[in-house]
Chains A and B, each alone.
Chain A
Amino acid sequence: MMLQMVLRRIAIGIATILVVSVIVFVMTRLLPGDVAQIILGQGATPETLAVLRKELGLDQPGYIQYFIWLGDLFTGDLGISKAGGATISSLIGGRFGNTMLLAGLVALISIPISIVLGLWAAMHPGSWLDRIITFGTLSTISVPEFFIATIMVLIFAVELHWLPSTAMLADNMSFLELLRGLAMPIITLVIVVSAQMIRMTRAGILNVMSSPYIEMAILKGVPRGRIILRHAFLNAIGPIINVIALNLAYLVSGVVVVETIFAYPGLAKLMIDGVQTRDLPLVQACAMIFCTTYVLLILVADIGSIVSNPRLRHPK
């Protein structure tokens, strides 16, 4: 029963990634018109255009182009960038690691903070701390990421002079130097991602709190803190795992803005540069990496909530 559901979910995930690849392909290859012209720009001679069209297979029908493109993608042949003619896989290599480093550190910090604050707010609903947390997180999710980033730069870099206003990343940095260099993007992303997670953790726990067995525990006279930790939290773990994975997926879009504002040499910055110069092969590759990561994280979230549901784990 459970295995079946998980397998089904994985199959849907794979199908989604294929659909995503079709969308990316259709939007960047078929719809814009003459892709060779866009890639080479106005100054291209008819000869170079013809060569590139042949190279990209633009003389073939659309669906054949798609399968050639998909095959290249799987074998890691991501094509050649417009700028400088470097292969895209060489451009992406290091950048991908940098983005993963940033995202990993953010996840490591924000997950415990969010669960603790979310639990705290749910334990004392209506208290002043709960109100502050609720209002603060609602405000945070209502503003753009760059607003938070601007305010953080204003406080920590301009007024207090504690931290550098842009990200710094070098090979020979010690761990502490690394933390300081990455502090601004990490702080910004932690605030953005935690706000969502705190709200959803709080909502998840309060949701469980209205179920009959919790009412039973209240009527028996069990203290509120104990009810939350022993009864509500354990039953809300499934939804909370779901929340965490969903919000790590949300990091995908947060990272785009934050890497740009702090000039962090990550994959998202590379993609934005690609969009600005209309470097379509580069955008295709970055988009596929980001979208696949996103779909995979959502997949993990769904499998997490299937696995953590005791009713599905022990079917009658």
Chain B
Amino acid sequence: MTNSNEQNGVAGEDVVDEIDKFAELPDVPPKRKLKLSWVGRIASGIVIFWLVIAAVGPWVAPFHEMDMDGDDSFLDAHTNEYGTFYLGTDYLGRDTFSRVIWGARMTIGISLAATLLAYALGITLGIAAAVKGGWVDMIISRMNDAILALPSIMLGLIAIAAFGSSIPILIIIAGIIYGSSVFRIARALGLDIMVQDYVEAAKARGEGIWWIIRSEVLPNAAMPLATDFGLRLVFVVLFISSLSFLGLGVQPPAADWGSMVRENLAGLTYNSWASVWPAFAIATFTISINLIVDDISAKSGGSLAKKMV
């Protein structure tokens, strides 16, 4: 306790007072310091790079995603009167470099939205099932088992055959499919927390169920769920881009990494790398997230290998 007080002493006076008030309490949480290995730091750099590109892409890309300004399709890097094509052109003579940048927004945006939906659904239902128990838990859990019993790509294919493909539908499908895994984790965490002494104490004090969920269950479930978020995002990116690759996800002419690989596949035989760059973009993004998650979970005990099983 005194040790952490000394460490805080370096920071500004007012802040210190604020923190010290709580540092004296017996159940102050241990200070978590996230230190990444050099692999983890490079990986975070790459992830942040792509997130920034996704945010500002349309303003920094030299061309619009739909401009057909190249001299011909499947060309190598060249310059003409419209500008420079750093990575060459795609099958319609569009700038591959600009489309990769535009695609970041589409691929990462949809995946983030779907993962957030999955978390909203999974946590709400998971905590509800854990807190309520009984028949509520029974019904939600059995329905969840049914979704988990199928390969996600199959569920995706069936849903798209039934409802057609559009961006909102993609987000909802991925959100429901991956929400079921979040549900399982959130429910397990919730059940675990609900039998802890501090929850018993809160119940004995006469705190309401909402207070317990807000002040005890959610804060204690937050950290494990946050680590899981990265993994889930990777799965969603792979899911969405696989569907796009199959021609069932994001529809042309919008730029999306998965569909860009598909569209330009024919170019491979002409030695055009137009399909390789977007594939690389997906790979750098997903591998980096996994490396960060691996780094964090190696620090906190469990390794990623266990979670992947």
Q: Which residues of A contact B (CB under 8 A)?
A: 16, 19-20, 23-24, 27-28, 31-32, 138-139, 141-147, 150-151, 153-154, 157-158, 165, 196, 199-200, 202-203, 243, 249-250, 252-253, 256-257, 260-261, 271-272, 274-276, 278-280, 283, 287, 290-291, 294-295, 298
Which residues of chain B are within 8 angstroms of A19 by Cβ–Cβ distance?
A: 146, 149
Kindly report which residue of chain B lies nearest to residue A282, judged by CB atoms.
Answer: B161
Instruction: Count A-B contacts at CB 8 Å.
Output: 149
CB of B164 within 8 Å of the partner chain: yes
Q: Once the chains bind, are A272 and B305 in contact (CB under 8 Å)?
A: no
By CB atoms of chain B within 10 A, which of A23, A142, A199, A261 has the most? A142
Q: Once the chains bind, are B157 and A256 in contact (CB under 8 Å)?
A: yes
CB of B158 within 8 Å of the partner chain: yes
Q: Once the chains bind, are A253 and B152 in contact (CB under 8 Å)?
A: yes
CB of B247 within 8 Å of the partner chain: yes
Which residues of chain B from 131 to 170 have a CB within 8 Å of any chain A CB? 145-147, 149-155, 157-164
Q: Which residues of B contact A (CB under 8 A)?
A: 145-147, 149-155, 157-164, 234, 238, 241-242, 245-248, 258, 261-262, 265, 268-269, 271, 275-276, 279-280, 282-283, 286-287, 289-291, 294, 303-306, 308-309
In the complex, what distance in Å separates the CA atom of A147 from the CA atom of B268?
Answer: 13
A-B contact pairs, 25 of them (CB 8 A): A23-B147, A23-B158, A27-B159, A28-B161, A32-B162, A138-B304, A139-B287, A142-B286, A144-B282, A157-B269, A199-B305, A202-B305, A250-B151, A252-B154, A253-B154, A256-B246, A257-B153, A257-B242, A261-B245, A271-B157, A272-B157, A272-B248, A283-B161, A290-B154, A294-B154
Query: 7 shortest A-B CB distances, which residue pairs?
Result: A203-B305, A283-B161, A253-B153, A143-B283, A142-B290, A32-B162, A275-B161
Q: Once the chains bind, are B282 and A143 in contact (CB under 8 Å)?
A: yes
Which residues of chain A are within 8 angstroms of B154 by Cβ–Cβ distance?
A: 252-253, 287, 290-291, 294
Which residues of chain B are within 8 angstroms of A20 by Cβ–Cβ distance?
A: 146, 149-150
By CB atoms of chain A within 10 A, which of B149, B160, B238, B268 has the most? B149
Q: DSSP majority for the A interface?
A: helix
Q: Once the chains bind, are B279 and A27 in contact (CB under 8 Å)?
A: no
Which residues of chain A are within 8 angstroms of B152 by Cβ–Cβ distance?
A: 253
Which residues of chain B are within 8 angstroms of A252 by Cβ–Cβ distance?
A: 151, 154
Q: Once the chains bind, are B247 and A144 in contact (CB under 8 Å)?
A: no
Which residues of chain A are within 8 angstroms of B241 by Cβ–Cβ distance?
A: 144
Q: Once the chains bind, are A203 and B248 in contact (CB under 8 Å)?
A: no
Q: Once the chains bind, are A144 and B242 in contact (CB under 8 Å)?
A: yes
Task: Kindly provide the distance from the CB of A35 to the nearest chain B CB, expressed in whole angstroms.
Answer: 9
Which residues of chain B are within 8 angstroms of A272 by Cβ–Cβ distance?
A: 157, 246-248
Q: Once the chains bind, are B146 and A138 in contact (CB under 8 Å)?
A: no
Task: Kindly provide the distance from the CB of B147 to the nearest chain A CB, expressed in whole angstroms.
Answer: 8
Q: Once the chains bind, are B151 and A294 in contact (CB under 8 Å)?
A: yes
Task: Kindly provide the distance from the CB of B144 to the nearest chain A CB, expressed in whole angstroms.
Answer: 12
* One of A139, A200, A249, A260 near B151 (C-beta < 8 A): A249
Which residues of chain A are within 8 angstroms of B258 by Cβ–Cβ distance?
A: 144, 146
Q: Once the chains bind, are B279 and A150 in contact (CB under 8 Å)?
A: yes
